[in-house]
Structure 1
Amino acid sequence: MSFSLYDASAPVYLNMLRNLVAILDKAAAHAQANGVDIATYLDARIAPDMHPLTRQIQMVSDGAKGGVARLAGVEAPSMPDTETTFAELKERLAKTIAYVESLKPEQIAGREDETIELKFPGQTMTFTGASFLTTFSMPNFMFHVTTAYAILRAQGVPLGKMDFLAGARMAGA
């Protein structure tokens, strides 16, 4: 059995989205146990010129749903960036998980060489399906997951590497 574009995308997005939900749960429990206003986590950032936690979570969602949608050649659902609470962020992640789960392997199968264009103000980036996933979509997605983790870790939430890697499977397991 060969390893497909679907195998390299949807399950990875799903695992990390679920891990992020668990990380948010751990952050909420930490805030409650320590008398911390959880809103301080939502506005926290690593550096002044970086986006706060709320925007990092929104970008994780956008990266996952946009990534699989582009690979499948379909339009991703629109989700306005209006979340202001942990509950709303978790709801957005749940909707993103449901969307990624709704795409079937056959929708992505064989699209490794399909052209994917991303249009930005003043620039268009052109990829094959495979290069989009490996050089843009997955690294960008992981950047925002990692940044969300790092923001919460910097706020004192007791997170470790296994919180980030939860759900990893050994061969044959």
Structure 2
Amino acid sequence: MLYEITILQFSKMLKNLKLILEQAYAESKKFDVEVLLNSRLAPDQFHLIKQIQTACDTAKLGVSRLTGKEAPKHDDQEKTIAELQARIQSTLDYLATFTEKDFVDSNERKIFHPRWDGKYLTGKEFAIQHAIPNFYFHITTAYSILRHNGVDIGKKNYLGEIPLKSESQPQRTS
């Protein structure tokens, strides 16, 4: 289960973010891209660049902690949309190295974090209570910054493709 709710979801949402950034790049002719990249929703929140860096870090470090597989290091030097897209792609490449087998013992693995003062969560708790909510927070905030600054995106861009299935006879919902 942890493979599906981390690797598959993190990968899908990072791909969606990469596509949204392509849209932002195409529209950057309407506004100063430097202003866009340094925009934030509130004075005490991270700017767009840091939101994307943090979303990538949350995904890669989250699965690293769950599996014990070492995560790549990024130096947080991105300053352009192209560099942010490369960061996202690097994270996607790392996530693609995982299989369900990597998560066999992850549910009960003790996950420690430098900010938790020696306390821990089980892998399942960590994924559900920490990694996934934090990941979505930063993805959503990046989306909101782009949308707030006039990038023509909507909910479909955020959600991406949904694997709907067809039945020969539609089921009634009443």
For the criterion TM > 0.5, the same-fold answer is yes
Deviation at 1:125, TM superposition (A): 4.3
In structure 1, the partner of 2:160 is: 166
In 1, Cα distance between equivalents of 2:147 and 2:66: 32
The alignment's TM-score, normalised by the length of structure 1, stands at 0.91
Letter of the 1:37 counterpart: D
Give the secondary structure class of the aligned counterpart of 2:111: strand
In structure 2, the partner of 1:17 is: 14
In 1, Cα distance between equivalents of 2:6 and 2:77: 27
In 2, Cα distance between equivalents of 1:159 and 1:68: 29
Query: Counterparts of 1:115-154 in structure 2 under 5 Å?
Result: 115-120=110-115, 123-154=117-148
Deviation at 1:67, TM superposition (A): 1.2
Whether the 8 Å CA contact 1:19–1:166 is kept in 2: the answer is: yes
Consecutive unaligned residues of structure 1, counting only runs of 5 or more, are none
Give the secondary structure class of the aligned counterpart of 2:114: strand
In structure 1, the partner of 2:33 is: 38
Deviation at 1:169, TM superposition (A): 2.2
1:8 aligned onto 2:2:
no
Q: Percent identity, aligned pairs only?
A: 37
1:92-142 Cα deviation digits (max 9, x unpaired): 10000000001121011232111111112x734411111100000000000
Whether the 8 Å CA contact 1:59–1:144 is kept in 2: the answer is: yes
Inter-CA distance 125–165: structure 2 relative to 1 (3 Å threshold): farther
In 1, Cα distance between equivalents of 2:119 and 2:22: 36
Deviation at 1:171, TM superposition (A): 5.5
Letter of the 1:30 counterpart: E
Consecutive unaligned residues of structure 2, counting only runs of 5 or more, are 168-174
Alignment length, in residue pairs? 167
In structure 2, the partner of 1:67 is: 62
Out of 19, 25, 30, the position equivalent to 1:28 is: 25
In 1, Cα distance between equivalents of 2:119 and 2:28: 41
